[in-house]
């Protein structure tokens, strides 16, 4: 039975990539939004 149990895939690198892209999108979104708020 236990032999059939699949190993969890190693997704640490994927997680870092997702967090990197996610942070970039959040930061640039708020930078653009701040620019919009700051201008008349």
How many angstroms separate the CA atoms of 18 and 9, rounded? 16
Q: How far is the CB of 16 from another protein (least distance, A)?
A: 10
Q: How far is the CB of 11 from another protein (least distance, A)?
A: 5
How many angstroms separate the CA atoms of 21 and 27, rounded? 10
**Where on the chain is the footprint of another protein (CB under 8 A)?**
8-9, 11-12, 14-15, 18-19, 22, 25-26, 29, 33, 36, 39-40
Question: Residue 35: what are its φ and ψ, rounded to 5°?
Answer: -60, -45
Q: How far is the CB of 9 from another protein (least distance, A)?
A: 7
């Amino acid at each position: 039975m236990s032999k059939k149990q699949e190993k969890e895939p190693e997704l640490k690198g994927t997680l870092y990539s997702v967090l990197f892209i996610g942070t970039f999108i959040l930061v640039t979104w708020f930078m653009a939004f701040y620019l919009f708020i700051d201008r008349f």
